[in-house]
Structures are given as C-alpha cells and as structure tokens.
Structure 1
Amino acid sequence: MDLMQFFDMILHVDKTLGVLLAKYGVYVYAVLFAIVFCETGLVVLFFFPGDTLLFIAGAACVSGQLDYWVLITLLITAAVTGNTLNYWIGEAIGQRVFTHNYRWINKDAMRRTHDFFEKHGGKTIILARFVPVVRTFAPFVAGVSDMTHARFQLYNFAGAAIWVISLVTAGFFFGNLPIVRDNLTLIVLLGVSAAIVPLALGGLWKVSRKMLSR
C-alpha cells in the first residue's frame, strides 16, 4: 500500500476501519491517535475525520477489535494534546494571523471561528468539539486571543472528555445497527445540526432582544 492509498483510507475511515484493523491490528490505536491529534492540532488538516471516526471506533469495540477503555483514554489524550499544540501555535503567531497572508490558514474558517469565539467565549472550546472545522480552529483562535493557558486547559479537557466519551459510547451501543451503519453520514449531519441550531437560535434571540430594546 502506497502513501496515497493509506491517506485515502484515513479520509474514509468510516468505511475502511475494518480493513485497517485486519491489516495493522493493535497499531490502529496509533493511527487513530494520530488522526484525532492532527485534526485537532493542525489547522491545515481540518478536513480529517473526527465525529465519524469516534463513532465507528466505538462500534468496533463491540466485537473486541478495539478495547473501549483504552480507546477512550487514548483519544481523550489525543484531543487534549492536539488542542494544546494548536493553542500554542496560535499564541506564537498572535494577531499577525489577521494581517499576514498565511497560505496554510483558511481565512474564511478562521473568521467564522473568531466570530463564534467572540459570541460564546471560553465555552466555545467545549461547543466547538461537536462542530467540524470550527473544532480545529477554536484552540488556534483561543491562542491568538490571549486566553490564559489555565483557563484554556479547563475547557480543553472538559470538551475532549465529553466529545470522545459521548461519540465512542454512541458508536458502541448503536454503531452496529444496520439502519445506523447504512445512514451514518446523514446521522452525523443531523448530529452537527443539533449542535449548531441551538447556538444559532441563541444568537438570533440576543440580536432580536437588542433590536427590540432600542
């Protein structure tokens, strides 16, 4: 297997995890750790799978291919350390990110995440875990915005634990049901919508209250 084939398998891990397990065995733990670490730690890899990976990995625990508690511990560690690296990169670059033309940063995603961060503050680090793309840029923006390291780590660990445990556990209990397995993409999209819609409604409510108070 060449590098491009392996990379393609990672991007479609919801369909290829079984193949990876058969081919690499326990080394898949390292692969899963690397995917979550890179998706949360490097803004250039925001397109790596996150939610689907956790869900499918949880389903693999039922058959004993992966150990539930080892997986939980490993992925929480990957999510926490990935976010920490991302925070440090944002802290090092600082406000220059808005004035310099860094080709490796998606400016639209950066601005959306910054607006999200401005509205929701520190809890963005927790909420963003369930919103693809925003999940990757949130710790970077936290570093740029000079959030203290202690405060960031509090939200960072809480968000990582909630995200990993909820999705891996959901995969463990529901991932092997045919109706779930055959409609995984739709279910993930509905899950993302469930995370975003309440935030959007809350934003609209605040805006409407300001307009009515004038």
Structure 2
Amino acid sequence: MSPWPLENLAPILVLVMAFCEAIVLIGLFVPLTPLLLALGGGIAAGAFAPEILVWAVLGAFLGNLASYCLGQRLKAKKRGLPRLPSRVVERVELLFERHGAAAIVLSRYLGPPATIAPFLAGWSGLSWTRFLLANLVASLTWPPAMALIGYAATLGWRWAPIG
C-alpha cells in the first residue's frame, strides 16, 4: 500500500486547483466549477467529508489575493495590462463601475470574469480592506454554493425511481 493514498492528496489537489482557477489568465484554463460539483456529489455519497470544501475556500482566497497583488504590482511598475480577452475585460470593468468591491463577489459567480476581477481590482486601486472583505465573502460562499448543487443533484439522483 502506498504511503500517499489518493484520499490524503485530495485536499491538496483541491487547494491547488482552487488557487490556479483564481489566478489571472491561468484560471481560464483551470475550471473549478466541475470539481466543486463533483465534490458535492462525493460528499452526498459519503466519499468525502464536507471539510474538504475548506481547502477550496482557502485556495480561492489565496489565488484571488495573488491576482490582486499582481495587479497592484504591475500598476506600480507602470506596465500595461497583459493581453486579456477584451470581451472579458469590458464585462469586469462594467461590474466595477456599477458595483465597486461587490464586483469581486458578483464576478465569482459569472465564470471567466472571476479570474480577471481580482487582478483588475488591484490594477484599478481598489483599497486593500475593501478587496479583502469582498474576497472573503466570495471565497466563503462560492465553493459551498457550487458543491451544494452537486450534493443536491446526487441526492436527487438516488431518490429518482429507476425503471
């Protein structure tokens, strides 16, 4: 038997996936939603303890924080924005105009803007405290909300009459 069973690696893998999904640009290629849906199903089936979601929350929070700091750093060095899909940047900028720090929370539920919003928040000069509060709310609510969908779907599937 291996000294590193897969179940022991699961929390680390969830943390790394959540972190990568929250990093600007990288997150466009590392979707976390399917994993969270599957984790919710795994929790419903008894394969995972609900505490595994703590790792997703932590990874999302740290990834968003890293993107925010990168945005601040590039702005301070007077570097231009990296090449981002203009459609996504426009959507995120519109979110910031309309909703300020709440755009961090809103973007988390909108897919691709979630990977760009923390970076643009740092770039735009959103205050550290406003960003941290919004990041905390987004990171605490989004992973459990997505897992809850997978959880409910799994329980619904088990209750569905077959045949």
Whether 1:58 and 2:6 are equivalent positions in the alignment is no
Question: With structure 2 as the length reference, what TM-score do the two structures score?
Answer: 0.82
By how many angstroms is 1:63 displaced? 2.5
Aligned counterparts of 1:53 and 1:126: Cα–Cα separation in 2: 20
Q: Could you say which structure has the greater relative contact order, defined with CA pairs below 8 angstroms and 6 or more residues apart?
A: 2
Map 1:85-96 to 2 at 5 A.
Answer: 85-94=66-75, 96=79
Query: Is 1:124 the counterpart of 2:103 in the alignment?
Result: yes
Provide the secondary structure at the position in 2 that maps to 1:42.
coil
Which residue of the other structure, out of 112, 115, 120, is the alignment partner of 1:133? 112
Aligned residues with identical type, % of pairs: 24
User: 2:149, 2:91 → 1: CA distance?
Assistant: 29
Question: Following TM superposition, by how much is the alpha carbon of 1:42 offset from its aligned partner in structure 2, in angstroms?
Answer: 3.3
Do the aligned residues in 2 keep the contact of 1:41 with 1:83 (CA within 8 Å)? Answer: yes
Provide the rounded CA distance (Å) in 2 between the counterparts of 1:127 and 1:135: 8
Length, aligned pairs only? 152
1:168 aligns with 2:121: no
- Compute the displacement of 1:173 (Å): 2.5
Query: Aligned letter for 1:78?
Result: G
Q: Does 1:44 align with 2:26?
A: yes
Shift of 1:176: 5.0
The 2-side partners of 1:87 and 1:51 are apart by 21
Aligned residues of 1:125 and 1:159 also touching (Cα < 8 A): yes
Please state how far the C-alpha of 1:170 moved relative to its aligned partner: 2.5
Cα distance, 1:131 vs structure 2: 0.8
Which residues of structure 1 form unaligned runs of 5+? 1-22, 180-214
- Alignment check: 8 A CA contact 2:44 2:154 kept: no
Tell me which moved more, 115-124 or 148-157.
Answer: 115-124
CA distance in 1, matches of 2:120, 2:133: 16
1:29 aligns with 2:11: yes
SS of match in other structure, 1:48: coil
SS in 2 for 1:168: helix
Separation in 2, partners of 1:60, 1:74? 15
Matched-pair contact (CA < 8 Å) for 2:36–2:150? yes
Query: C-alpha displacement at 1:178, in angstroms?
Result: 4.1
Provide structure 2 residue ranges, at least 5 long, that are not aligned to the other structure: 159-163
- Say what the alpha-carbon RMSD is for the aligned residues: 2.1
Q: Deviation at 1:44?
A: 3.0
- 1:157 partner amino acid: L
Residue identity opposite 1:138 in structure 2: A
| Secondary structure class of the residue paired with 2:100 | helix
